[in-house]
Structure 1
């Protein structure tokens, strides 16, 4: 069963250990104003069978933020990235005002496989320059392909087992935070 990596008793200090053990964990990078959308995406990935590191579930990080302990916040973020194989950067208009997202990308750039997820309504040219070199996840179809590729499983059995939901399914939990399908030619 997938989990939030923060709750795991096993913590890794380097990506090489994560990779050598075959751990697949996605670090969710987002601006705090997008916390609701980030939680939906984190929960969707967990439901699909992928471990995540999501800061809202990290009680230590919350305490460090409240006590304005910048070094402890930075250390918590670094540990989360070190325990991750992938980084998913959520982009919305709020991202432009984030002080932590650029740090997370910079720290994780060479340590994780970097992906950028566009939240609902982000126009094609609306991405900040510092994320344009990453693989872009523009819609629900794309995140389902990301999950399929990350798990190294065919997409149809994931639909059949209800691990993921079609972009056209009205009950898809991501339909309120992501576009359904940008490019109908898929």
Structure 2
């Protein structure tokens, strides 16, 4: 069973250690107004068997935010990214107003396998240039492919074992936060 890695008892201070151990963990970067969508994405990943770092459960980060301690917030984010192999940046119109998402992208750009996940209704061409260089996931179909690649397991096996839900399934837990399938590539 996957988990939110904040709860994992071992925190690695070194990126080299994370890489050498083959740790698979997705850092979820998002703007606070997209917290509900981010929670659904995190739960979907955990259900599929992928560990995540999702800030909602990071008590240290919450206290740092409440006390306006920018240094401690930065340290928490860096620790989360350093303990992750992948980064998933959730993009919505709210992202453009974020002060922390650009920092997270900049810090994790060369450290993680960076992907951008478009939330429902993000029109083609609306992504800021600084995130167009990453792998862009526009729909549930592509997200399921990404998950199967992270886990190195076939998508059909993950769907058959109910670890993942087909993009065409109307009961897919992500159907209200992501488009099911977009045939027009982002380019």
- TM category (shorter chain) comes to over 0.9
Give, in angstroms, the shift of residue 184 of structure 1.
Answer: 7.8
The C-alpha deviation readout for 1:114-160, integer Å capped at 9, x for no partner, is: 00000000011111111000000000001100000000011111000
Task: Work out the CA distance in 1 between the residues paired with 2:172 and 2:40.
Answer: 11
Structure 1 residue 14: Cα displacement = 2.4
What is the distance in 2 between the residues matched to 1:122 and 1:16? Answer: 36
In the alignment, the residues of structure 1 paired with residue 163 and residue 113 of structure 2 have an alpha-carbon distance, to the nearest angstrom, of: 22
Post-superposition Cα deviations, 1:6-32, rounded to whole Å, max 9, x if no partner, equal 000000122221111111000000000
For 2:71 and 2:98, locate their aligned partners in 1 and report how far apart those are by CA, in whole Å.
Answer: 18
Q: Which runs of 5+ in 1 are unaligned?
A: none
SS at match of 1:62: helix
Which secondary structure state, in structure 2, belongs to the residue aligned with residue 143 of structure 1? helix
Q: Which residue of 2 aligns with 1:57?
A: 57
Pair 1:148 & 2:158 matched: no
Q: How does 1:37-116 map to 2 (within 5 A)?
A: 37-116=37-116
Counterpart-to-counterpart distance in 2, 1:175 and 1:33? 19
Secondary structure at the counterpart of residue 27 of structure 1: strand
Return the alpha-carbon distance in structure 2 between the equivalents of residues 123 and 170 of structure 1. 22
Please give the secondary structure, in 1, of the residue aligned with 2:114.
strand
Partner of 1:121: 121
Could you say if the C-alpha distance between residues 184 and 104 of structure 1 is closer, same or farther in structure 2, counting changes exceeding 3 Å?
A: closer
Structure 1 residue runs of 4 or more that deviate by more than 6 Å after TM superposition: none
SS state of the match for residue 145, structure 1? Answer: helix
Normalised by the length of structure 1, the TM-score is 0.97
Partner Cα separation in structure 1 for residue 164 and residue 15 of structure 2: 27
Structure 2, unaligned stretches of length 5 or more?
A: none
Residues of 2 paired with 1:15 and 1:110: CA distance? 11
TM-score by length of 2: 0.97
Q: CA RMSD in A?
A: 1.1
Output the CA distance in 1 between the equivalents of 2:27 and 2:34.
15
- The count of corresponding residues between Structure 1 and Structure 2 is 185
1:23 aligned partner: 23
What SS does the corresponding residue of 1:45 show, helix, strand or coil?
A: helix
